[in-house]
């Protein structure tokens, strides 16, 4: 409850000064002061934030509270508020840092919230609204890991804060339930993936509910639901009608062992993260979304967003919009020009060679008769784009061909190098001595 607690001065010498104006659905009592008579106020605050988040006082640190001062202040209040008999921890409770906590509070308040539909989304005329959305987890057979509740605690803080501010809040949970693990399990055991997925979802839901997050479970969905897939198909058709979805041959990370294409993040040292199968880069005809047509709009609409700078940088990098010039280098044999996109056309006079990606048509053509180039292309095929661009050591082989400098007429050698990515720009670049 970082945000809401920041409204209470953490510098108070004895306790939180006031909880006035923070009424919460399902809370029968609102604390007016904790300076004195703090037992009643502390009990009220427990009702406000719910049993699930009372535990965060002892089990969580910085992800939950904006400052350690606020946490210490809360703990002082709870210690001051505890009745004399609370000095001995209850049988079903836990104690940490001198704070006695009865775990039965969890079940009591969670049952209360469910019975009274406390966190159900309501729309009241004239009230402001907030949509607090978490990234849906993939329901694996392993269940939740510690990273799940860490992130979900932060968003739950915000959902509860806005409810306390009398906003109408939509805070749903769902499941990103399409995935390779379920498919692999189905192939290995003969169990239909729908069965495994539903079992895993039930386990994830049980775990999340036990943590007491304020989700509106009436809005739960899974990306494998027929009703959800219907709309993903509808969106695709709209993109297709606008000419934004088309088929093209693009290099992909193909894993024959899994029988599918993998993302860069699913490959470790040329092997699939799941199963350890070899992965190779190969061209594959597939559906492509023409994101480039929306690049200007996507980039422009980032302006004004109150997002961390690191997130903004990643978004701009993903959009990939850049301004520059495309320069054509004629091949000496009279074949197709090697076209290079550059944001620094002013460096053209310093170019001393041209480099193409292993996926480039010129590299493929040369590889048919040059064993060194063919071997290099094969070695590169086992690396993901991420591995190639992040590697500190750069490598390459001469293609044995030359191109003509468009201004000076000078012959420039062509190299094949894996740090150039075939799907980025034109798949070619120019370079010179630093």
Q: pLDDT tens-digit profile of 60-78?
A: 333 333 333 433 433 443 3
- The three-class DSSP label of residue 15 is coil
CB 106 within 8 A of CB 51: yes
Query: Of 93, 116, 118, which Cα lies nearest the Cα of 106?
Result: 93
Share of the chain above pLDDT 90, in %: 50
pLDDT in tens, 132-150: 999 999 998 889 998 999 9
pLDDT surpasses 90 at 125? yes
CB 172 within 8 A of CB 215: yes
pLDDT in tens, 97-115: 667 778 889 899 999 999 9
Residue that wins the pLDDT comparison between 243 and 29: 243
CB 35 within 8 A of CB 17: yes
pLDDT at 237: 97
pLDDT at 32: 32
pLDDT surpasses 80 at 14? no
Q: In the structure, what pLDDT confidence band is assigned to residue 94 with cuts at 50, 70 and 90? A: low
Distance between CA atoms of 216 and 253, rounded to whole angstroms? 39
- The three-class DSSP label of residue 403 is strand
What long-range pairs does 329-334 form, CB within 8 A, spacing at least 24? Answer: 329/354, 329/403, 329/404, 329/405, 329/406, 329/412, 329/430, 330/403, 330/404, 330/406, 331/362, 331/401, 331/402, 331/403, 331/404, 332/401, 332/402, 332/403, 332/404, 332/411, 333/401
pLDDT at 60: 32
Round the CA-based radius of gyration of the chain to a whole number and report it. 29
Which range among 34-38, 83-87, 247-251 shows the weakest confidence by mean pLDDT? 34-38
User: What's the whole-number mean pLDDT along residues 77-83?
Assistant: 39
Backbone angles phi and psi of 399, in degrees to 5:
-85, -15
pLDDT surpasses 60 at 127? yes
Q: What is the DSSP string of 263-281?
A: -GGGEETTEETTT--B-EE
pLDDT at 120: 96
pLDDT at 89: 46
Distance between CA atoms of 172 and 134, rounded to whole angstroms? 8
Distance between CA atoms of 230 and 179, rounded to whole angstroms? 18
Which range among 219-223, 288-292, 367-371 shows the weakest confidence by mean pLDDT? 288-292
Residues pairing with 222 in the sheet: 175
User: What's the whole-number mean pLDDT along residues 338-348?
Assistant: 92
Residues pairing with 119 in the sheet: none
Per-residue DSSP letter, 256? T
Assign residue 117 a region (left: φ > 0; alpha: ψ between -120 and 50; beta: otherwise): left
Tell me whether strands 168-170 and 129-131 are parallel, antiparallel or unpaired: parallel
Q: Alpha carbon 332 to chain centroid distance?
A: 47
pLDDT in tens, 307-339: 999 999 999 888 877 889 999 999 987 778 999
Residues pairing with 174 in the sheet: 221
Q: Which of 46-50, 81-85, 181-185, 240-244 has the highest mean pLDDT?
A: 240-244
Residue that wins the pLDDT comparison between 88 and 335: 335
pLDDT in tens, 203-216: 999 999 999 999 99
pLDDT in tens, 390-410: 878 889 999 999 999 999 999
Distance between CA atoms of 231 and 172, rounded to whole angstroms? 18
CB 37 within 8 A of CB 43: no
Please name the helix (run of DSSP H) or strand (run of DSSP E) that holds residue 366, with its range, or none: helix 361-367
Share of the chain above pLDDT 70, in %: 77
CB 382 within 8 A of CB 270: yes
Q: Alpha carbon 221 to chain centroid distance?
A: 18
The stretches of 127-247 forming alpha helices (DSSP H) are 147-164, 180-189, 193-210, 226-241
pLDDT in tens, 147-204: 999 999 999 999 999 999 999 999 999 999 988 788 888 888 889 999 999 999 999 9
pLDDT at 43: 33
Output the CA–CA distances (angstroms, integers) from residue 379 to 109, 369, 384, 388, 418, in the order listed.
59, 17, 11, 11, 10
Residue that wins the pLDDT comparison between 429 and 11: 429
**Mean per-residue pLDDT of the chain:** 79
- The CA-based angle 177-182-188, given to 5 degrees, is 175
Assign residue 297 a region (left: φ > 0; alpha: ψ between -120 and 50; beta: otherwise): alpha
Residue that wins the pLDDT comparison between 266 and 339: 339
Helix-helix angle 193-210:104-115, to 10 degrees? 110
CB 388 within 8 A of CB 324: no
């Amino acid at each position: 409850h970082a945000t809401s607690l920041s409204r209470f001065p953490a510098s108070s010498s004895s306790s939180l000064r006031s909880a006035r104006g923070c009424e919460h659905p399902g809370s029968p009592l609102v604390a007016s002061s904790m300076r004195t008579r703090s037992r009643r106020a502390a009990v009220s605050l427990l009702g406000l934030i719910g049993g699930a988040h009372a535990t965060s006082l002892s089990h969580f640190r910085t992800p939950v509270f904006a400052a350690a001062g606020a946490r210490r202040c809360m703990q002082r209040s709870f210690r001051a508020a505890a009745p004399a008999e609370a000095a001995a921890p209850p049988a079903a409770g836990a104690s940490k840092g001198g704070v006695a906590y009865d775990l039965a509070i969890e079940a009591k308040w969670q049952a209360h919230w469910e019975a009274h539909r406390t966190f159900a989304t309501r729309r009241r005329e004239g009230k402001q609204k907030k949509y607090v959305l978490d990234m849906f987890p993939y329901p694996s057979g392993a269940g939740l890991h510690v990273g799940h509740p860490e992130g979900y605690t932060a968003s739950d803080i915000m959902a509860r804060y806005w409810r306390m501010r009398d906003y109408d809040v939509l805070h749903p949970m769902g499941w990103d339930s399409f995935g390779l693990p379920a498919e692999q399990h189905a192939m290995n055991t003969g169990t239909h993936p729908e069965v495994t997925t539903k079992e895993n979802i039930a386990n994830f839901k049980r775990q999340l509910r036990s943590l007491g997050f304020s989700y509106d479970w009436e809005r739960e969905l899974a990306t494998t639901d027929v009703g959800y897939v219907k709309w993903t198909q509808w969106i695709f058709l709209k993109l297709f009608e606008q000419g934004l979805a088309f088929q093209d041959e693009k290099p992909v990370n193909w894993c024959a062992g899994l029988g599918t294409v993998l993302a860069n993040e699913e490959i470790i040292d040329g092997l699939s993260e799941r199963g350890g199968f070899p992965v190779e880069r190969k061209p594959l005809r597939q559906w492509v979304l023409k994101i480039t047509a929306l690049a200007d709009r996507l980039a422009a609409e980032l302006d004004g967003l109150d997002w961390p700078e690191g997130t903004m940088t990643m978004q701009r990098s993903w959009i990939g919009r850049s301004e520059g010039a495309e320069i054509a280098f004629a091949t000496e044999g009279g074949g197709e020009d090697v076209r290079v996109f550059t944001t620094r056309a002013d460096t053209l006079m310093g170019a001393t060679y041209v480099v193409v990606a292993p996926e480039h048509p010129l590299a493929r053509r040369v590889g048919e008769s040059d064993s060194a180039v063919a071997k290099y292309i094969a070695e590169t095929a086992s690396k993901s784009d991420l591995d190639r661009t992040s590697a500190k050591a750069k490598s390459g082989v001469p293609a044995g061909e030359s191109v003509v400098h468009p201004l000076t007429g000078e012959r420039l050698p062509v190299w094949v190098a894996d740090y150039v990515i075939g799907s980025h720009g034109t798949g070619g670049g120019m370079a010179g001595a630093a």
